[in-house]
Structure 1
Amino acid sequence: MAYYGSIEAGGTKFVCAVADENLTILDRVSLPTTLPEETLAKVFDFFDAYQLRALGVGSFGPIDVNETSDTYGYITSTPKQGWQNVDFLGKLRQHYNIPMAWTTDVNAAAYGEMHLGAGKNTQSCIYLTVGTGVGGGAVVNGHVLQGFSHPEMGHIPMERYPKDTLISSCPFHDHCLEGLAAGPALEKRTGIKGQLLEQTHDVWEIEAYYLAQALMSYTLTLSPEKIILGGGVMKQTQLFPKIRESLKKQLGGYVSLPNLDEYVVGCELGDNSGTLGCLLLAKEQGV
C-alpha cells in the first residue's frame, strides 16, 4: 500500500506524518531541527519505512516558491543557523522520486483549516499564527496564494497604537506587525511572558488593536470568507472579542462584513492544521 507523507518543517521541530487514502494519520514523529544533514537523515529514517505515493512539504521560511527560479525549493534568508540557502526540496527529491507539493508552513495550515477545519464550506480564508513570530497564509478560490514569492503577512507596516513607543522586536522593521505584536513584543512591554499574563492586563488592548489593524488590511486586500487565528498568543481567548470590536471600529463602516463572530475565529485543527494541509496537498499531487 502507498501512503501520503507530510513534513511540517519548523525552525524548532520537524513534524513528519504518513496517512492513508482517507488522510487518516497512521504514524507521526517530531524531530528537533538541528543542522540540515542531521535533521534530514532522521526524516529519511522515518519515511523509508513506508512506500510513499506523494509528499507535501510546508516549511519555515523565507523559501523560494517560484518554479522558474534557479533556487526554487530553497530555504533562503532564514535566520535559522545552518539553514540559509539550503536546497531543501532538492535534497528530498534526491531521496524520493515521487510528486511533491512545496509551500510555507502557514500556507499549508491555511489549506488544512479551509478544507477540514474552521474554514470548511468556504473557498477562501486566511490563517494567521501569532506566537514567537507572526506568519500568515492564504487560500484564494481554493488555491494556496503564491506569486513571485509567498505572503509575509507578519511584516506589514502598522500605524502605532497611541503613545506606543516600544522598540520593535523585529530586526528588519521598526513598526511591523511581528515587531509590535508577537510574543517577544508582549514580553518587552510587560516583562512577563505572554502565557503568564493575566487576562485583564491592559496590554491585551494594544495587542488587539495591532491584530485588528492587520486583519483590516487583509480584509480590504483579499476579501477572505474567513480569518482563522492560531499560535500561542491566540490561546489567550479573551483576545477574540477585543479583536472583533477593534476591527469593526477601525473599518469605520466602510465595508459590510459577515457576522464577526463567524468571520474572525480560532483554528479548529490545533496542532494538526499544517500536517493535514500538507497531506491534502500531497494527495492532490499523487492522484
Structure 2
Amino acid sequence: MSLYGAVEAGGTKFLCAVGTGPDHLEAILRIPTTTPDETLARVIAFFRPFAGALKAIGIGSFGPLDLDPTSPTFGTIPTTPKPGWSGTNLLWPFQEAFGIPIGLTTDVQAAALGEGRWGAAQGLHTFVYLTVGTGIGGGAIVHGRMLHGVWHPEMGHIRIPHDWERDPFPGVCPFHGDCLEGLASGPAMAARWGQPPEALPPDHPAWELEAEYLALGLVNILCILTPQRILLGGGVAQHPGLLPRVRERMRALLNRYLPAPALEGDLETYVMPPALGERAGLLGALALAMEMAS
C-alpha cells in the first residue's frame, strides 16, 4: 500500500507520521528539536523502515523559509532565533535519503492545507488560516493553491491602527514593535498585563482589546484576499468568549460594505475555529505529501 510521510517541524519538537489520512496514521513520533544534524537524522531514521512504500514526504516548518524554487537558498531557513538553525536546508537531506518528492511549506500553510482537505474548509477554494499563540501567522489557500509570492505570507506583521491613548503598550515585535503580532500575540498579552493569557479571567479588559486587534487584522486580510472563510486557531484564539467578540467587532468595522451573503448575520460560519485542532499542521504536511505525489 502507498504511504505518505508528514513532518511538522517546530521550534521545540518535530512530529513525524506516515499514513494516508486522519483515520490511517501507521506511526507517529515526537522528536525534541535539538541541533539540525541530530534532529534531521532522527527524523530520517523514523522514515527509513517505510522507504519502500513512501510516495512523498511533506514538511510544514517554522520559518521563515525560502520557498522560491529559483533561489540558490531554496528550502532553507534563512534566519531564525532558534540557535544553530539559521541557514539549515530542510529539503536536501530528505531528497538525498529517499529520492522521492519532498514538499516544504510553513507550518501555518500546512495547517491550512489540512483544514482544506479534512477539516473546516472542505469544499472551499479560497480561505485563510490564522493562528494566534506564541506568534501570529497566517496561511492562505487561493483557488486551491497555497499563496506564495516573493515570500510566504507574513500576516502577523501587518500594521493595524494603534490607539496609543487606549493602549500605550509599545508592542513586543523586535522588528516592528506594534504590528499585529507585536500587539496581539500571547507574549504581547503577557507583557502588557503581567500574566499569561490563560490566567486572565473572561471579564478582564484584555479580551476586549484582543478582540479589537484581531478584528482589525482580519478585516484587512478579508478586504485583500476576500476568502470564503477564515479559520482562527492557536492557543490564544481558543479562549472562551473571544471569537464572538472578534466577530461582533468585525461586523462593526465592515459596516455592511461587502454585500457577500457569507458576511451577513453573526459571522458564525465565516470566522470559525479549525476542525483538526492540534493535528492540523501534521495532517496538512500529509496533505502536502499527497499533492507532491499526484
TM-score range (shorter-chain normalised) is over 0.9
Determine the C-alpha separation between the residues in 1 that align with 2:240 and 2:18.
32
Q: Cα offset for 1:100?
A: 1.2
How far the C-alpha of 1:30 sits from its partner, in A, is 1.2
Q: Is the 8 A contact 1:76 1:86 kept in 2?
A: yes
Distance 1:149 1:157 in 2: 18
Could you say which residue in structure 1 is the equivalent of 2:43?
Answer: 43
- 2:60 touches 2:106 (CA, 8 Å); kept in 1? yes
* 2:257 corresponds to which of 254, 272, 285: 254
Q: Partners of 1:142 and 1:20 in 2: how far apart? A: 20
CA distance in 2, matches of 1:132, 1:272: 17
Within the alignment, does 1:283 sit opposite 2:290 as a pair?
yes
> What are the equivalent positions in structure 2 for 1:195-234 lying under 5 Å apart?
195-234=198-237
The secondary structure found in structure 1 opposite 2:290 is: helix
1:84 equivalent in alignment to 2:91: no
Shift of 1:263: 0.4
1:22-45: CA deviations, max 9, x gaps? 872111111111110111111012
Structure 1: distance between partners of 2:136 and 2:32: 21
| Structure 1 pair 205–22 and aligned structure 2 pair: CA distance change class (3 A) | closer
Aligned residues: 287
Task: Please name the residue that 2:239 is paired with.
Answer: 236
1:252, CA displacement in angstroms?
A: 2.2
Of 22-31 and 34-43, deviating more is 22-31
Q: Offset of 1:203 from its aligned partner?
A: 0.5
Retained in 2: the 8 A contact 1:23–1:279? no
Under a length normalisation based on structure 2, what TM-score does the superposition of the two structures give? 0.94
* TM-superposed deviation, 1:270: 0.5
Moved over 2 A (4+): 20-23
- Asked whether the 8 Å contact 1:127–1:137 carries over to 2, the reply is yes
User: Which runs of 5 or more residues in structure 1 are unaligned?
Assistant: none
Aligned-pair distance for 1:74?
0.5
Contact 2:22 2:283 (C-alpha < 8 Å) held by counterparts: no
- Structure-2 separation of matches of 1:217 and 1:237: 24
How far apart in 1 are the matches of 2:137 and 2:207? 19
Deviations 1:197-255 (A, max 9, x none): 11111110110011001110110000000000111101203111100011111122221
- Say if 1:17 and 1:29, in contact at 8 Å, map to a contact too: yes
The aligned amino acid for 1:194 is: P
Instruction: Map residues 123-272 of structure 1 onto 2, 5 A cutoff.
Output: 123-161=125-163, 163-257=166-260, 258=262, 259=264, 260-272=267-279
- Aligned mates of 2:108, 2:9 — CA distance in 1: 11
Which residue matches 1:68? 70
Aligned-residue offset at 1:21: 7.3
Mapped pair 1:27 → 2:27: yes
1:168-200 CA-partner distances (Å, limit 9, x unpaired): 111000210100000011111211111111111
How many percent of aligned residue pairs carry the same amino acid? 46
1:16 partner SS: strand
Secondary structure of 1:262 counterpart: coil
Cα distance, 1:163 vs structure 2: 2.1
Deviation at 1:275, TM superposition (A): 1.3
Quote the Cα distance in structure 1 between the aligned partners of 2:70 and 2:236. Answer: 37
Q: State the superposition RMSD in angstroms.
A: 1.4
